[in-house]
Amino acid sequence: MTNFVGGRFLETGRTFTKTSPVDGSVVGQVHEADATTVDEAVRAARAALDGPWGRSSVPERAALLRRIATRVEERFDDLVRAESADTGKPLHLARTLDVARAAANFRAFADTVAAHGMDSFLTELPDGRRALNYAYDKPLGVVAVIVPWNLPLLLLTWKVAPALACGNAVVVKPSEETPSSAALLAEIMAEAGVPDGVFNVVHGFGPGSAGEFLTTHPGIDGVTFTGESATGSAIMRAVAPRVRPVSFELGGKNAALVFADADLERTVDGLARSVFTNTGQVCLCTERVYVQRPVYDEVAAALAKRAAELRPGRPEDPDTTFGPLISTGHREKVRSYYDLAVREGARVLTGGGVPDLGEDLAGGAWIEPTLWTGLTNTDRVVREEIFGPAAALIPFDDEDEAVRLANDTEYGLAAAVWTSDLERAHRVAQRMRVGLSWVNTWFLRELRAPFGGAGLSGIGREGGTHSLHFYRQPTNVCVQL
Ligand code: NAD
Ligand code: 6OD
């Protein structure tokens, strides 16, 4: 896999090996961008902004985004295979979640930008002077886009689509764990007619590699980042000397609140999805399940049954419902939390270890879906983000206690409230200190709604016009009449 700079596919002479988390086999060699390559990418982006792209109109850009979406759909199966090869996720998940959303992201932001107007004011001063004030939108400029490995294409396009819609040029750094779909997207961009330099891809790692070279480059005008909170903090420090804006979607330690009046079948179904989807590697996944005491045992038993029914296996097997973690390195982190939970006094309801899936998959990053009881909010496994298929079930007695427990975290990304009491649903959803509260559902997305987090979970909001706020610089023009 090569870098994509100024419309050219670039080898760098230094490669790293991407391996499959399914069985440890080689997926491919990736050309790591050095400081010179990153510099070329930033310069190519700047040159694009100084050329015709910098004067492009909103209808032209909206049409381009729709062409990209169409091309994504035409190369749908290639993208599904690439995404699944890097992550090990079941093909059907890559199809229905990741790649479907990539096309949807481009269409959604084509619509959003086309419908978006600008502020204007007729100013009338007491001394009789009158003026027309309007806000003229300019792009932010050269935007660094840095994304993680869990939903690689979904998260990358969620940023690139609004950035291009607003007329920016981007330098994208995908995760070192998931270079393949970004490499394919570079081909798609060229095929769709995106001008040279508008979309650039540099591969590599974070510190001492492409990530750091990009965030410390003086030519970037802002950074949009999705990943760990600690990485966000490092990126803030990197851009601080030049005071560049950042947009951050960071980690989570999301709570589900299950009230005794909930439809329990639907609730357990939703909980199973929210704890185990993508092997728990979605920032929105539930890792804390607070259950009202009268239904606690019933919910715990039903959820454990759902965990036991998950079927690990190769991504192309239609019966597979559960993939591996992203890497054996990440598995070590998740496993250390499994061990810590036991030391902290957890009762392991199900899972808790590494499964034996036979010789064929022995080189993979497999882990068991896991549920614990017996933990409290003071335990580290209940406070720190694990980013794996594991959750602690904790009982509560009344609404106030549930809200207090759920909000007792430094994170603030998402919550899910399960209840059939309409007033309670709204009341509790609004009391959650998060960017997004779901009621009786999970990961149901409206792409125009604000998306983001409070506290350690991020800075800013994405989605619809909220994304436009980061990627545009409104300039006030005041005309005396
Ligand atoms: P990560 O922070 O380790 O890496 C994310 C990206 O940042 C990668 O491309 C990596 O190479 C790069 N990077 C790492 N250090 C860097 C540095 N010092 N400078 C510049 N770039 C650097 O995150 P990850 O392990 O890839 O992803 C998992 C994390 O992402 C979890 O914490 C998860 O909650 C979070 N996440 C959040 C959201 C959200 O929307 N809030 C979405 C997905 C994932
Ligand atoms: O759905 C989205 O738009 C989004 N940003 C999801 C993030 C998922 C985190 O892993």
SS3 content of the chain, % helix, strand, coil (to 5): 45, 20, 35
Positions of the chain with pLDDT under 50: none
- Atom nearest to 282 CA in ligand 2: 10
Q: Can you give the pTM of this predicted structure?
A: 0.97
pLDDT of residue 278: 98
* Of 429, 106, 455, 96, residue with least CA distance to 249: 455
Domains and CATH numbers, the chain: 3-250+457-480 (3.40.605.10), 254-446 (3.40.309.10)
Q: Give, using CA atoms, the residue closest to atom 35 of ligand 1.
A: 227
Query: With the C-alpha atoms ordered 462, 468, 471, 474, is the resulting torsion angle positive or negative?
Result: negative
pLDDT of residue 305: 98
Amino acid letter for position 7: G
176 lines ligand 1 (CB under 6 A): yes
Q: Give, using CA atoms, the residue closest to atom 1 of ligand 2.
A: 445
CA of 328 to the centre of ligand 2 (A): 24
Q: What is the Cα–Cα distance from 234 to 255, expressed in whole angstroms?
A: 27
pLDDT of residue 71: 98
Contacts of 382 (CB under 8 A, 6+ apart): 253, 287, 288, 375, 376, 392, 394
368 lines ligand 1 (CB under 6 A): no
> Is-contact 288 406, C-beta < 8 A?
yes
Site residues for ligand 2, CB cut-off 6 Å: 150-151, 155, 158, 249, 282-284, 445, 451
283 lines ligand 1 (CB under 6 A): yes
* Residue 319: count of CB within 10 angstroms of its CB: 8
Tell me if residue 401 falls in helix, strand or coil: helix
Q: What is the Cα–Cα distance from 277 to 256, expressed in whole angstroms?
A: 15
Within 240-281, where are the H helices?
264-276
387 lines ligand 1 (CB under 6 A): yes
Active site residues: 249, 283
268 lines ligand 1 (CB under 6 A): no
End-to-end CA distance of the chain: 58
Which pair of tokens denotes residue 243?
Answer: 């005071």
pLDDT of residue 292: 98
pLDDT of residue 14: 96
* Of 170, 182, 172, 161, residue with least CA distance to 211: 172
- Atom nearest to 150 CA in ligand 2: 10
146 lines ligand 1 (CB under 6 A): yes
CA of 219 to the centre of ligand 1 (A): 22
pLDDT of residue 198: 98
228 lines ligand 1 (CB under 6 A): yes
- Proximal ligand: closest to the CA of 249: 1
CA of 248 to the centre of ligand 1 (A): 10
CA of 349 to the centre of ligand 2 (A): 29
Query: With the C-alpha atoms ordered 381, 387, 388, 389, is the resulting torsion angle positive or negative?
Result: positive
Length of the chain equals 481
> Is-contact 145 171, C-beta < 8 A?
yes
CA of 476 to the centre of ligand 2 (A): 33
